[in-house]
Structure 1
Amino acid sequence: MQSGAKLKLSADVGGTFTDIVLEEGAQRWTGKVLTTPASPEEGVLRGASEVLARAGKSVADVDLFIHGTTLATNAIIERRGAKVALIATDGFRDVLEIGTESRYDQYELALVRPKPLVERPLRFTVRERMDARGMVRLPLNEADIHVVAKTLSDRGIESVAIAFMHSYTNAAHERQAAELLKALMPSLYVTVSAEVCPEIREYERTSTAVANAYVQPLMDGYLLRMQDKLKLLGFKGALCLMTSGGGLTSVETARKFPVRLVESGPAGGSVFAAQIAARLGERKVLAFDMGGTTAKVSLIEDYRSETSRVFEVDRAARFLKGSGLPVRIPVIEMVEIGAGGGSLARVDGLKRVTVGPESASSVPGPACYNGGGTNPTVTDADVALGLVDPATFAGGTIRLFPDLAKQALTASVGGPLEMSAEMAAYAVYEMVCENMASAARVHTVERGQVASNHTVIAFGGAAPLHVARVAEKIGASRVIVPPNAGVGSAVGFLAAPISYEMVKTKYMRLDAFDPAEATQLLSDMSKEIRAWVEPAADGETLIERRIAFMRYVGQGHEIAVELPVRGLTVADAATFRSRYEADYEALFKRSIPAAAIEIMAWSVNVSTVSEMPGVVAPVTQHVTGMPNDVVRVFDGRRGKPIDVSRYQRDALPAGARLSGPAIIVEKETSTFVTENFNAWIDGLGSIVMERKEIAA
């Protein structure tokens, strides 16, 4: 243990499990408990106390507590957020309904659009108008705000979003309306769109503001309860929240902008996978995260996750862009589907086995939990196949009942299709693996990549059980299951930098570049961000990154171009053009000579230094791994059970080799090595699976 090392605690609250990781220097303790949906802080604190007790520590000893959660995402998907209203500019009541007027499926006659978070009767308008340059065309009519406030009060509205036309250029009217509402209704939560998303594109800005307003009362109450309970337990350290962009932020910022937390758990997983990729020298990685409720796939190139400025929540069509609610925030680029251990399996009207997106969650949970759930899930299928040891699941904290799993599978899948419980379980296993393989193919193809050219890094409680089969389906020949994979996202939180990114729209053409105006804008953004980041950084070195989002005049999408962190000059315009054209050619294989270029938005990111770990030394000696026992696993392709060797992961030394089929058991998860893979333990302790050579 390192002398004077900080004691760090992290918690990842998922839809089914809450993962806890405690770290002090080189020592690490982990735990997994069921999420408590009614009061998530109870599950967090119970899991934390169990892990701290094993380490001989208390909450009062913790220096840094990092927290990530899917509460915001789940609230939007399950429509259990606040009773929220929208106030828009007169004449723009239906921005949420109109959207971009595009159809995500051109030929679907019965198109299902995502349901807005605010119903039309709760969308109000007031008289005011800014033009696109930020000039006042019509002053805000304060009498309209008074009328709206009375209606909000009468209808019991908890939270409101204010999204006026062109407020990204001048937010004076939005702030004026917010101040009036707070004076009239002090307990009302008010979201100002120009603060949450000061960017052009009316629909996306309005949607983001509404999403923030929708989850703010829930997240604010949860974070306040968490702070109060931690204080009662003697916690004196720093509390940080993981954001969707892969950085940490303060509780105060998270309470104001909870929409930034919508993908905080998966973002931690991407940080974890990037760290593992760096340790193992893997430059092209497909990160595969499968938990209890969802599965996520993201790309990592040269140890960095892809990022985006927009994310869709609650897609009506699983793989189709435009079918969800757009949230314009900095986010790690990924695709997420309802395919976790708790995803429900059933037979549809065409006698097809389908899995998800509905989940049994932690309450009532899968049928095998004996918690009242009667519908079969992916976990039930894994148990019925013999892939999971009922006595050691989740470190032995949750006892499983295989008979209940088989009963549920027979009732919902086996009976309708006239097959055994075991064959029904195999059908569910195959379908969920195919769903995840399809997501991986779509995600990589959309980015001009080939899935089979990537090493798959698997983490999350359910991913190691399914990753080998997913790899077979996408053609990947190398799979890595790192240490602590079952709580990977929570481990990733501990490596994330304290960070905050701001994006603002300020239109400017390169042929009319104003370096003084651009420098002032970027400096003001930097100053505002540092006011949030510096207190949390506690003296750590900060790095700053500046970006301009550029496009050829008239195009619909921008390319990010790196800017120097200094005062800009007239000569920089030529440099920016060269960089833009080089990036454009890399994407589209050509540029457009002499075409005018415009800057649509500017970004500033300030973060602490996040050092990538060094490459671990390769293993030079290999030994044959010795199994602990042999178990019976149902093989659907043969239609009968087969003998499979089972190993304890902590008993396998570096260099240990084994051949599939095999199961490697550990406290937080189990890894299934299919018969098409060999496996060995590398110097980091990772399980490395490599495709067997197929004889000609």
Structure 2
Amino acid sequence: IYLPTLIHLLRLQARRRVRPNTVPNPGRFSCRSVGSPASTSACFGFITLVKVTGKKRCHSATTRQSKVRKKKCYLISRAGSGLSLWRQQLAPCWNNPSTMAKSGKYCFAIDRGGTFTDVLCITPSGGIRTLKLLSEDPANYPDAPTEGIRRILQQEEGPERARTRDGLVNTELIGWVRMGTTVATNALLERAGDPVALVVNRGFRDLLQIGNQARPSIFQLNIQKPSNLYKEVIEIDCRLVPAQRTVCQLEQNWPELRGASNAQYLEMAPIDEDELRAKLVEVLERGITSLAVVLAHSYACPDHELRVGAIAEGVGFRHVTL
């Protein structure tokens, strides 16, 4: 019902010659001409129709979009109460399939879900290939993203070029791989990951369990708290304090450490490496191979955390997170 009316209004607006960067009235928009002198622009409401060399393009004014033509980028955005259109030189967009095809390699975007894995590939010629396969299929392949890449390369380049002599995927044909996955989120929610030990300063072992003391159901008598993400806690005697140059700090003559942004910290208590190493060995013998290190003021001065991480890796922990 409203389409003929909209087309009529667009034609009326196109006939009006509006000066650039001017707003004739609050209900209209102004546009500059685009492309060749024969180009015309029609504006109405939130839609801008730009006609360039006989081709009609439609851009949404509510979101910022661009049209690349002859290495020129025309940007449409709202300026004040009107809509302005200007020309500006911009770097090529790497998310554009035509730009990625110029690299001469295959580009992969992968969504690895709990049930299925979706693979999208942009070929060197600019074509798009898609593939969907099971995320878990031990009888046919050990890893779904790698299998998806291998299948597409084999279909495009053949079995010989898709693999190396060792039988691995030929990475020389790949420009980049971007992958998003929910595996880590699912493991976090289901508590299905490897057991983790937590390293904190002495006196802070219950800090995460206490939390912020929030109670969603304040009158509920049967309170069920979520389980902790860690299995064990290791407390170590080490402490850093911000340098405040007080009389008390100057009298102690503590060593000074430089942190991020040249922040000054004083080392009240250094790490007892022998004691720490013994505690880590005990935890490792109980089957915990993942370690999370959270020490005070480490966001600005990570010296203690880095030292704990180096000792943990030397003892034999497979995963250490600082």
TM-score, with structure 1 as normaliser: 0.25
* CA distance in structure 2 between the aligned counterparts of 1:168 and 1:37, rounded to whole angstroms: 41
Instruction: Pick the aligned partner of 2:143 from 38, 42, 60.
Output: 42
Secondary structure of 2:192's counterpart equals coil
* CA distance in structure 2 between the aligned counterparts of 1:180 and 1:4, rounded to whole angstroms: 43
Indicate the residue corresponding to 1:93 in structure 2. Answer: 205
* CA distance in structure 1 between the aligned counterparts of 2:289 and 2:175, rounded to whole angstroms: 35
Asked if the contact 2:240/2:269 (under 8 Å) is kept, the reply is yes
Quote how far apart the aligned CAs of 1:29 are: 1.0
C-alpha distance 92-49 of structure 1, shift in aligned 2 (>3 A): same
Indicate the residue corresponding to 1:175 in structure 2. Answer: 306
Quote how far apart the aligned CAs of 1:85 are: 0.6
Letter in 1 for 2:202: D
Which structure 1 segments of 5+ residues have no match?
Answer: 193-696
Cα deviation code 1:175-220 (max 9, x no counterpart): 222223333x14443222xxxxxxxxxxxxxxxxxxxxxxxxxxxx
Indicate the residue corresponding to 2:122 in structure 1. Answer: 23
Quote how far apart the aligned CAs of 1:145 are: 0.3
Indicate the residue corresponding to 1:189 in structure 2. Answer: 319
* CA distance in structure 1 between the aligned counterparts of 2:317 and 2:203, rounded to whole angstroms: 28
Residues 245-644 of structure 1 correspond to what in structure 2 (within 5 A)? none
Indicate the residue corresponding to 2:241 in structure 1. Answer: 131
C-alpha distance 166-65 of structure 1, shift in aligned 2 (>3 A): closer
Secondary structure of 1:73's counterpart equals helix
Indicate the residue corresponding to 2:165 in structure 1. Answer: none
* CA distance in structure 2 between the aligned counterparts of 1:142 and 1:103, rounded to whole angstroms: 40
Which has the larger helix fraction?
A: 1
Quote how far apart the aligned CAs of 1:156 are: 1.9
Secondary structure of 1:160's counterpart equals strand
Instruction: Pick the aligned partner of 1:149 from 254, 269, 280.
Output: 280
Cα deviation code 1:153-188 (max 9, x no counterpart): 3212211112122222322222222223333x1444
Letter in 2 for 1:191: T
* CA distance in structure 2 between the aligned counterparts of 1:85 and 1:96, rounded to whole angstroms: 13
Instruction: Pick the aligned partner of 1:74 from 182, 186, 195.
Output: 186
Does residue 162 in structure 1 map to residue 302 in structure 2? no
Asked if the contact 1:85/1:118 (under 8 Å) is kept, the reply is yes
Letter in 2 for 1:36: E
Letter in 1 for 2:298: S
C-alpha distance 43-4 of structure 1, shift in aligned 2 (>3 A): closer
Letter in 2 for 1:123: V
C-alpha distance 56-187 of structure 1, shift in aligned 2 (>3 A): same
Letter in 1 for 2:280: A
Does residue 63 in structure 1 map to residue 175 in structure 2? yes
C-alpha distance 154-4 of structure 1, shift in aligned 2 (>3 A): closer
C-alpha distance 137-107 of structure 1, shift in aligned 2 (>3 A): same
Secondary structure of 1:145's counterpart equals helix
C-alpha RMSD of the superposition: 2.8
C-alpha distance 142-48 of structure 1, shift in aligned 2 (>3 A): closer
Does residue 9 in structure 1 map to residue 104 in structure 2? no
Asked if the contact 1:11/1:21 (under 8 Å) is kept, the reply is yes
The ranges of structure 1 where at least 4 consecutive aligned residues each deviate by more than 6 angstroms after the TM superposition are: 37-40
C-alpha distance 46-143 of structure 1, shift in aligned 2 (>3 A): closer
Quote how far apart the aligned CAs of 1:69 are: 2.0
C-alpha distance 65-89 of structure 1, shift in aligned 2 (>3 A): same
Quote how far apart the aligned CAs of 1:93 are: 0.9
Letter in 2 for 1:71: V
Quote how far apart the aligned CAs of 1:132 are: 4.7
* CA distance in structure 1 between the aligned counterparts of 2:119 and 2:206, rounded to whole angstroms: 43
Secondary structure of 2:293's counterpart equals strand
Cα deviation code 1:539-565 (max 9, x no counterpart): xxxxxxxxxxxxxxxxxxxxxxxxxxx
Asked if the contact 1:20/1:51 (under 8 Å) is kept, the reply is no
Cα deviation code 1:305-330 (max 9, x no counterpart): xxxxxxxxxxxxxxxxxxxxxxxxxx
C-alpha distance 37-158 of structure 1, shift in aligned 2 (>3 A): farther
C-alpha distance 71-55 of structure 1, shift in aligned 2 (>3 A): same
* CA distance in structure 1 between the aligned counterparts of 2:273 and 2:290, rounded to whole angstroms: 19
C-alpha distance 22-144 of structure 1, shift in aligned 2 (>3 A): same
Letter in 2 for 1:68: G
* CA distance in structure 1 between the aligned counterparts of 2:179 and 2:192, rounded to whole angstroms: 21
Cα deviation code 1:122-160 (max 9, x no counterpart): 112111112255322222222320331231232122111
C-alpha distance 154-50 of structure 1, shift in aligned 2 (>3 A): closer
Identity, in percent, stands at 28
- Larger Rg over CA atoms: 2
Quote how far apart the aligned CAs of 1:106 are: 3.7
* CA distance in structure 1 between the aligned counterparts of 2:103 and 2:266, rounded to whole angstroms: 56
Which structure 2 segments of 5+ residues have no match?
Answer: 1-97, 163-168, 244-264
C-alpha distance 71-41 of structure 1, shift in aligned 2 (>3 A): farther
Secondary structure of 1:12's counterpart equals strand
C-alpha distance 81-26 of structure 1, shift in aligned 2 (>3 A): same
Quote how far apart the aligned CAs of 1:32 are: 0.9
Q: Number of residue pairs matched?
A: 189
Secondary structure of 1:82's counterpart equals coil
